[in-house]
Amino acid sequence: MRHAMPPTASDRRRRRRLVTGLGAAGAAGAVTALVAVLVPSASAATLLSEDFEDGASGWSKSGGTWSVVTDGSKVYQQAKADSELARVFAGETSWTDYSVQAKVKPITLGKGLAGIAARASSASNMYRLALTSAGKAELQSVKGSAVSVLGSVAVSNLTAWHTLRIDASGSTVTGYVDGTKVAAGTGTLAGAGRVGLITSYASASFDDVAVNPVTAAPATPPVTASASKTATAAPSASKTATASPSASKTATASPSASKTATASPSASKSATAAPTPTATATSGSGTSPTAAWPTATSSKPVTATIPVSGTLDGGNVRYYGSGALGGDGQDEGQDPIFKLADGAVLKNVILGAPAADGVHCSGSCTLINVWWENVGEDAATFKGGASATYTVDGGGARSADDKVFQHNGGGTLTIKNFQVSDFGKLYRSCGNCSTQHKRAVVVQNVIATAPAKSLVGVNANYGDTATLSKITIVGDDKLDICVRFTGNNTGKEPTKIGSGPDGVTCKYSESDVTFK
């Protein structure tokens, strides 16, 4: 029994626990060829226990409007029902075999869904278990815009609290709603990733998130209590420890929605396990767009923007936002991880998640072999004057909900030898900045992999130009390569006026683009 009397404030702070470093070692148990039912190990250390009583500072956001509110107790709520995708993530990208459980209460479902995610390797690649407007709980495999349903069960009273759980071990992924098995399937996505809470065209509340290692066992899943916030499977509804899993606010030895004890002391929520050093710093010009993504030599949290003048060679260290920089949503005006002075060079750097607003260039700058594992608001923003020159040479970016490179100032940006996947736009000349400029972009030797919305967007009315060559598009033979807009300086959304080569604004020919 952890608490025999009402918990103190310090006790409540100890409830949220995160143990880092569950990597390949988490899969040490043999996985048989038979499809086994995965059950959380009650004896293993809890990786994460979150009741939101002390806020949600350890969660990184991507879309939506999230806040901690009171609904009987403190819960985490996403209130923007018209948001296409709203997600928050916690945990480590190295987590492999685990069970994630949370209580979910849809407020409005509309035509959308609300649920939990496991093995989220990016903002749009994950397994998710969601309550849907069709009156079902669905276990889904999500890879960009491609969603595969692994199975579903009917759910009554959708706007009540329901307990959702995903167990992932090896290649087997299993989902449960209120103790009922939804589906089990063989996963083809990344075998590791963070946990998440998600909505799409819906608003919802979330509470009592628990993450624990899992072991494979030929047993049926344990029956949990109803989705009530107060019911328990044990005779008593008190706030003392019980041995049976439930959806109550009690502490348990299994990975339930525990409000109190965790199985063992663990690292703080901001800690990140440093990957094994395997890569070394490179030098010279950027890598080929077909180069393998580098392995980080170590990881470093960043709580305040790092100024760069001269040259910073990161030696493939992973930098990620923490504290005030611990967000990866789409809010404008965020601070960057790096701010480059005029003429600065940033090279051999990995930006992990959350990446805040990436890199800002105050004037001319050069980025060599810079990699964005999960783009936050933007990967890089260029703010120099009319004569500024910016170069992005080598490197790559993944999972950009909107723009990768944002051009707010004047001058010319060259993007070469670069790879990008799962993105909105590779480049955008600001369509509604209060101060507008004539801008130019040169894109050469770039591989772009769908899903994506377009490659570049420019403002024809301000004299922008886009010159493209050696472009390879993978997975979408109808992707808009160059989109022309009428920009403005009033803050309104710019108007799209056309796309494709025109020899004036969009300078390329069909032979400059290869579709695969």
Report the run of H or E that residue 500 belongs to, with start and end. Answer: none
Distances from the Cα of 238 to the Cα of 60, 153, 332, angstroms: 33, 31, 45
- Rounded distance between C-alpha atoms, residue 385 and residue 371, angstroms: 25
Helix ranges (DSSP H) in 194-319: none
| DSSP one-letter string for 285-322 | SPPPTTPPPPPPS-EEEESS-EEE-SEEEEEEEEEEE-
- Rounded distance between C-alpha atoms, residue 479 and residue 469, angstroms: 16
Q: Taking the model in full, what pTM does it have?
A: 0.55
Nearest to 460 by CA among 481, 480, 431, 490: 431
Omega of the bond leading into 354 within 30 degrees of 0 (cis) = yes
What does the block give as tokens for 511?
């032979």
pLDDT of the residue at 240: 34
- Rounded distance between C-alpha atoms, residue 52 and residue 70, angstroms: 10
Cβ atoms of 327 and 376 within 8 Å: the answer is yes
Given the DSSP bridges, would you call strands 465-474 and 439-449 parallel, antiparallel or unpaired?
A: parallel
- Rounded distance between C-alpha atoms, residue 1 and residue 113, angstroms: 37
Report the run of H or E that residue 48 belongs to, with start and end. Answer: strand 48-50
- Rounded distance between C-alpha atoms, residue 120 and residue 127, angstroms: 7
**DSSP3 helix / strand / coil % (the chain, rounded to 5):** 5, 45, 50
pLDDT of the residue at 84: 82
Cβ atoms of 324 and 300 within 8 Å: the answer is no
Render each residue's pLDDT in the chain as its tens digit; 516 residues. 223 333 333 333 333 434 433 433 333 333 322 233 333 443 347 899 999 998 988 888 877 889 999 888 899 999 999 888 888 999 988 899 999 999 999 999 988 999 999 999 877 789 999 999 999 999 999 887 788 899 999 999 998 999 999 999 999 999 999 999 998 888 788 889 999 999 999 999 999 999 999 864 433 333 333 333 333 333 333 333 333 333 333 333 333 333 333 333 333 333 333 333 333 333 457 899 999 999 999 999 999 999 999 999 999 999 998 888 875 444 445 789 999 999 999 999 999 988 889 999 999 999 999 999 988 678 999 999 999 999 999 999 998 888 999 999 999 999 999 999 999 999 999 999 999 999 999 999 999 999 999 999 999 999 999 999 999 999 999 999 999 999 999 989 999 999 999 999 999 999 999 999
Omega of the bond leading into 7 within 30 degrees of 0 (cis) = no
Cβ atoms of 111 and 133 within 8 Å: the answer is yes
pLDDT of the residue at 31: 30
- Rounded distance between C-alpha atoms, residue 5 and residue 484, angstroms: 66
DSSP character for 6? P
Domains of the chain: 11-216 (2.60.120.560), 299-515 (2.160.20.10)
What does the block give as tokens for 408?
């707010």
What does the block give as tokens for 489?
């300086």
Distant-in-sequence, close-in-space partners of 297: CB < 8 Å, separation ≥ 6: 275, 277, 278, 279, 280, 315, 316, 317
